[in-house]
Structure 1
Amino acid sequence: MPEREWSELRNSIHQDLLGQLNLRALSKIPRKDLKLQLAKPLNEALAARSLVLVPERREQLVDELLDELTGLGPLEAIMRDPAVSDIVINGCENVFVERHGRMQKADVRFLNNEHVIRILNKIVSGAGRRIDEAQPMVDARLADGSRINAVIPPLALDGPLVSIRRFSVFGSTFSKLETLNTLSAEMSELLVRYVAARLNIVVTGGTGSGKTTLLNVLATAIPDEQRVITIEDSAELDLNKPNVARLETRPPNMEGNGRVTQRDLLRNALRMRPDRIILGEVRGDEAIDMLQAMNTGHDGSMTTVHANDAANAITRIENMVIMSGVNLSSEQLARQIGRTVNVVVHVHRYPDGVRRISSISEVSGSDAGQVDLSPVFWFEATGVNQDGRLSGSFLGSASESRFQDRMNMLRPAGQPG
């Protein structure tokens, strides 16, 4: 049976079953038991169509129907693949996945654009969000911590556009990042010591460079007895710590009321007795509040900034502080950042698909309205191997750190990995 006919058959039987089954009840039943419950209605549906399937095809149909009824439809099999780091949908027929840093077309498709939107609604409703013509864009997270962004018509001209970013696939320890060639062992040790010494760290990088993954890994070096407050637009951080309070922003309701911003949550977090604050990403006027928090007893805090390099990240922070309406001269602003931010770690996704820390820089103060950055480690590419991978090495030395005395006073509670 051709793929299109098979998809139409599955969708037709799926519509029949929707009228007979209690989906809310199904979600609480183990998958193997659901297969037994589907036997009778599936036999009736096949008989009504005068169809007989061989056992292998019948088993495939049952699995795909279960994915439609209780899971994410055609995406379910992809989501079960641990090698997949990104999923991109450009309309119902074009689904792409990234495996090991390489994007490739997936061997799955949706029946039509309405099918994509139906699965989208199932995903975002579980996160308390919605997507429809009145609100055709959504940013949410899945139960496993993955992030989803979607845009549907009329804003998306050729069908629904979906991006799913999966964080769990990259690992959650320094040793795993070393295996992935994201950083060297010496860099891992230095970063652990930075966190233990309660230095304020800004992680920078472009879209999909691994900023949030690195932030999660850095947080593993925070002592368990410290209280950590996380603030995010869409919760992605998953800190394996006993004393973590997670806060997430809220979009306005249909009447345009009830919005809660990162700046609102950051101000409230200061009243929650935090030892450290982790702001998922600084995007706007909350930058000034973050700087003030770092400079008033919450040292050891961390955040991320979307930027092309460390110097550009400092410029972006300056621009975002100006957006907040604070009346500071360029010299005053540089001085504020220079004595608040201690370390800037830049991550970059290279052409070979590997995400590497391209530089670790320390802030050494400010001069004439400029924030001074001193690189401690950096990645230097030397060529391309036969398999298309970059060759190169991490250069620099932890002995160059200007925070040696501070780090020596506070030894790490644990080692990387």
Structure 2
Amino acid sequence: MIQDTVYDALIRHLMGPLVRYYDDPTVTEIMINGPNEVFVDGRGGVQAVTERLEDSAALRALARVILQFSGKRLDPLDLSLEARTPSRARVHIVQDPAARAGITLAIRQFAQDPPSIEDLEASGSLSGEAIAWLREQVLGHRNIIISGGTGTGKTTLLGILCRMMDPAERILTIEDVAELDLRMPHVVAMESQMPDAKGRGGITIRDLFRAALRMRPDRIIVGECRGGEALDMIQAMNSGHAGSLSTVHADDPGRALSRLETLCLMSDADVPLIAVRRQIVEAIDLVVQVRRTHGRRLVMEIAETVKDTEATGGYAMTPVFLRRDADAPLERV
């Protein structure tokens, strides 16, 4: 698109000497901590670099243009904002005075050609046996949560699992900032939007999820569960929309379900805890746990949810594949 080309050229111009990292496929994150401090995350881990933007005005101009491309604005009343670039990089912006050093940007970059399942096997992140098993679960319309910390490859793995789906299926994706590049025949990508200065035109993840249920989806993919939309997703999984996938921030499969529980309770629905817990157990079939260790992104565990909540009194998981440590292979339990 012409608009994408124009914005890409403008962003590249405003990045000045930092454009070399913007163009480097080995750099996964550019962290601009105010105008005087820049770090990049690449194959060698997180490192400080000597290049800088000219001044705080140049940094503010860069943030403003990135937000404009995403249909948003740099408003002093919105101190934390998310956006994306024409290259599909995800950008998080925190403004001063919340960011003491001045406007701070974290630019998460993704490969122009998304990694394949073969790439994950070659890197040792997944075994051939685990890949075959996961493909069966995806085609069997099981509900899957990918759990991990920041920068562990959750979105990458989510995209790979989605590309295992039947190409004839209608897939609806819902994200705060569009990142997924599924390259499937029938994908409807939806992105939340902020309202304008008069409160018009905004739409939330929850609004989009409810809209998606009326759009004849075969699959609903939520890029990341962060709030009350988790309850809508869980209820949809339990009411005929099986085969959904999402990601959540957690350290292990059991905590991933506890995290979903907390997010469900953040909704405006007055649902008792015991009912939320039972719905989560009934909805989520398995959790894939990922971790980043020494620059490597690894699947550490694939676990199934134990459906008998009365016997456990909470969440119990049965490991199917497990990696004992970062140097060990992923093995069938």
**Per-residue CA distance 1:290-313 (angstroms, 9 max, x = gap):** 012112221111011111211111
Partner deviation per Cα, 1:185-224 (whole Å, 9 max, x = no partner): 2222211111111111011111111111110111110111
TM superposition shift of 1:335: 2.5
Whole-angstrom distance in 1 between the partners of 2:297 and 2:112: 13
Give the paired residue count: 328
CA contact (8 A) 1:229 1:269 kept: yes
| Structure 2 residue identity aligned to 1:362 | E
Q: Which residue of 2 aligns with 1:130?
A: 73
Counterpart position of 1:394? 330
8 Å CA contact retained: 2:249, 2:256? yes
Q: 1:307 aligns with which of 222, 230, 250?
A: 250
Moved more, 294-303 or 99-108: 99-108
The CA distance in 2 between the partners of 1:216 and 1:322, in whole Å, is 28
Contact residue 131 and residue 137 of structure 1 kept, 8 A? no
2-side partners of 1:167 and 1:259: how far apart? 27
Cα pair distance change 1:363/1:116, threshold 3 Å: same
Corresponding residue of 1:251: 194
Equivalent residue for 1:149, pick from 89, 92, 95: 92
- Per-residue displacement from partner, 1:96-152 (whole Å, max 9, x unpaired)? 111126111224211111111112222221111122434343210111211001122
Aligned to 1:290: 233
Matches within 5 A, 1:348-363: 348-350=291-293, 352-363=294-305
User: Of residues 324, 329, 333 in structure 2, which corresponds to 1:380?
Assistant: 324
Instruction: Give the letter for the 2:320 counterpart.
Output: V
Does structure 2 conserve the Cα–Cα contact (< 8 Å) formed by 1:338 and 1:372?
Answer: no
Aligned pairs for 1:301-380 (under 5 A) are 301-350=244-293, 352-368=294-310, 369-380=313-324
Could you state the TM-score of these two structures normalised by the residue count of structure 2? 0.91
The question of 1:210 aligning with 2:157 is answered no
State the 1:242 CA deviation: 0.9
Question: Aligned letter for 2:130?
Answer: M
Structure 2 residues not aligned, in runs of 5+: none
Q: Is the 8 A contact 1:130 1:138 kept in 2?
A: no
Note closer, same or farther for the CA distance 1:320–1:153 as it changes in structure 2 (3 Å cut). closer
Q: Is the contact between residue 235 and residue 248 of structure 1 (CA under 8 Å) also seen in structure 2? A: yes
Q: 1:69 to 1:262 in 2, by over 3 A?
A: closer
Per-residue CA deviation, residues 258-304 of structure 1 (Å, 9 max, x unaligned), is 33111111111011000010011111111121012112221111011
1:84 aligns with 2:27: yes
* CA RMSD, 1 decimal: 2.3
Cα deviation for residue 325 of structure 1 reads: 4.5
Task: State how 1:39-118 maps to structure 2 within 5 Å.
Answer: 70=13, 72-100=15-43, 102-118=45-61
Structure 1 Cα separation of the partners of residues 211 and 10 of structure 2: 41
Q: 3-state DSSP class of the match of 2:307?
A: strand
Alpha-carbon distance in 2 for matches of 1:67, 1:183: 39
- Aligned-pair identity in percent equals 37
Change (3 A) 1:322 1:68: closer
Provide the C-alpha distance between the structure 1 equivalents of 2:268 and 2:53, rounded to a whole number of angstroms. Answer: 47
Letter in 2 for 1:396: R
The separation in 2 between residues aligned to 1:71 and 1:225, in whole angstroms, is: 42
Larger-Rg structure: 1
Displacement of 1:255 in angstroms is 2.5
- Whole-Å Cα distance in 2 between the matches of residues 377 and 276 of structure 1? 25
Indicate conservation of the 8 Å contact 1:226/1:243, yes or no.
Answer: yes
Closer, same or farther in 2 for the Cα pair 1:154/1:185, shift >3 Å? same
Say which is worse superposed, 160-169 or 128-137, in terms of deviation. 128-137
